[in-house]
Protein backbone atom coordinates (compact mmCIF):
# COMPACT_ATOMS: atom_id res chain seq x y z
CA UNK A 1 0.00 0.00 0.00
CA UNK A 2 1.26 3.42 -0.84
CA UNK A 3 0.23 6.80 0.46
CA UNK A 4 -2.61 8.49 -1.42
CA UNK A 5 -1.57 10.98 -4.05
CA UNK A 6 -2.79 14.51 -3.49
CA UNK A 7 -3.12 17.30 -6.00
CA UNK A 8 -1.95 20.08 -3.70
CA UNK A 9 1.66 20.68 -2.78
CA UNK A 10 2.51 21.12 0.89
CA UNK A 11 2.39 24.74 1.99
CA UNK A 12 5.74 26.42 2.37
CA UNK A 13 6.58 28.67 5.27
CA UNK A 14 6.46 32.40 4.77
CA UNK A 15 9.57 34.48 5.37
CA UNK A 16 8.19 35.46 8.77
CA UNK A 17 7.46 31.80 9.50
CA UNK A 18 11.02 30.78 8.64
CA UNK A 19 12.50 33.46 10.92
CA UNK A 20 10.15 32.45 13.74
CA UNK A 21 11.10 28.78 13.27
CA UNK A 22 14.82 29.57 13.40
CA UNK A 23 14.50 31.61 16.61
CA UNK A 24 12.22 29.02 18.25
CA UNK A 25 14.66 26.19 17.50
CA UNK A 26 17.66 28.26 18.64
CA UNK A 27 15.86 29.17 21.88
CA UNK A 28 15.14 25.50 22.57
CA UNK A 29 18.75 24.52 21.86
CA UNK A 30 19.98 27.21 24.23
CA UNK A 31 17.59 25.85 26.89
CA UNK A 32 19.12 22.40 26.39
CA UNK A 33 22.62 23.82 26.71
CA UNK A 34 21.70 25.72 29.85
CA UNK A 35 20.09 22.62 31.39
CA UNK A 36 23.22 20.57 30.67
CA UNK A 37 25.34 23.36 32.14
CA UNK A 38 23.17 23.37 35.28
CA UNK A 39 23.47 19.58 35.53
CA UNK A 40 27.25 19.85 35.53
CA UNK A 41 27.24 22.80 37.92
CA UNK A 42 24.88 21.39 40.54
CA UNK A 43 25.11 17.60 40.16
CA UNK A 44 28.16 16.31 38.36
CA UNK A 45 31.31 18.32 39.07
CA UNK A 46 30.40 21.73 40.44
CA UNK A 47 31.86 23.54 37.43
CA UNK A 48 29.80 26.53 36.34
CA UNK A 49 31.37 27.15 32.91
CA UNK A 50 28.32 25.74 31.10
CA UNK A 51 25.99 28.12 32.93
CA UNK A 52 28.34 31.03 32.27
CA UNK A 53 28.33 30.24 28.57
CA UNK A 54 24.72 29.23 27.97
CA UNK A 55 23.08 31.58 30.48
CA UNK A 56 23.64 34.77 28.46
CA UNK A 57 23.04 32.96 25.15
CA UNK A 58 19.73 31.63 26.40
CA UNK A 59 18.78 35.02 27.84
CA UNK A 60 19.39 36.73 24.50
CA UNK A 61 17.51 34.06 22.54
CA UNK A 62 14.62 34.16 25.01
CA UNK A 63 14.28 37.91 24.46
CA UNK A 64 14.62 37.41 20.69
CA UNK A 65 11.84 34.79 20.79
CA UNK A 66 9.48 37.11 22.68
CA UNK A 67 10.26 39.98 20.30
CA UNK A 68 9.88 37.85 17.15
CA UNK A 69 6.55 36.56 18.47
CA UNK A 70 5.20 40.10 18.47
CA UNK A 71 6.89 40.97 15.16
CA UNK A 72 5.40 38.03 13.22
CA UNK A 73 1.98 38.05 14.90
CA UNK A 74 0.53 40.75 12.65
CA UNK A 75 1.86 39.60 9.24
CA UNK A 76 0.91 35.99 10.03
CA UNK A 77 -2.47 37.16 11.38
CA UNK A 78 -2.19 35.38 14.69
CA UNK A 79 -5.09 35.83 17.06
CA UNK A 80 -4.60 36.66 20.74
CA UNK A 81 -4.84 32.97 21.72
CA UNK A 82 -1.94 32.05 19.42
CA UNK A 83 0.20 34.93 20.68
CA UNK A 84 -0.42 34.01 24.33
CA UNK A 85 0.31 30.35 23.60
CA UNK A 86 3.60 31.31 21.89
CA UNK A 87 4.58 33.43 24.88
CA UNK A 88 3.67 30.73 27.40
CA UNK A 89 5.71 28.23 25.37
CA UNK A 90 8.81 30.36 25.95
CA UNK A 91 8.85 29.57 29.68
CA UNK A 92 9.08 25.75 30.08
CA UNK A 93 12.21 24.14 28.65
CA UNK A 94 11.94 23.11 25.00
CA UNK A 95 8.26 24.10 24.62
CA UNK A 96 9.13 26.51 21.81
CA UNK A 97 9.81 23.39 19.72
CA UNK A 98 6.33 22.09 20.49
CA UNK A 99 4.75 25.44 19.66
CA UNK A 100 6.70 25.81 16.41
CA UNK A 101 5.68 22.31 15.27
CA UNK A 102 2.05 22.97 16.18
CA UNK A 103 2.07 26.36 14.44
CA UNK A 104 3.61 24.86 11.30
CA UNK A 105 1.17 21.92 11.29
CA UNK A 106 -1.85 24.20 11.68
CA UNK A 107 -0.69 26.66 9.00
CA UNK A 108 0.08 29.49 11.40
CA UNK A 109 3.58 29.96 9.96
CA UNK A 110 2.34 30.28 6.38
CA UNK A 111 1.60 33.61 4.79
CA UNK A 112 -2.14 34.34 5.00
CA UNK A 113 -2.45 34.48 1.20
CA UNK A 114 -1.08 30.91 0.92
CA UNK A 115 -3.72 29.50 3.28
CA UNK A 116 -6.73 30.82 1.36
Domain boundaries, the chain: 29-104
Instruction: pLDDT band for 69, please (50, 70, 90 cuts).
Output: very high
Q: Taking every pair of C-alpha atoms in the chain, what is the biggest distance, in angstroms? A: 57
* Alpha-carbon gap, residue 113 to 115, rounded angstroms: 6
12: left (phi over 0), alpha (psi -120 to 50) or beta: beta
Summarize pLDDT for 12-36 with one digit per residue, the tens: 777 888 999 999 999 999 999 898 8
For residue 108, give every residue at least 6 positions away whose Cβ sits within 8 Å of its Cβ, in sequence order, or none.
17, 76, 78, 82, 102
Instruction: pLDDT band for 3, please (50, 70, 90 cuts).
Output: very low
Q: State the DSSP H helix or E strand holding residue 16, giving kind and residue range, or none if neither.
A: helix 15-39
pTM reported for the whole predicted model: 0.81
Amino acid sequence: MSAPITDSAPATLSGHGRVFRAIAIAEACSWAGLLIGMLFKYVVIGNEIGVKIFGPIHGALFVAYVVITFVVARPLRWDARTIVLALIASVPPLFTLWFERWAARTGRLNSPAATR
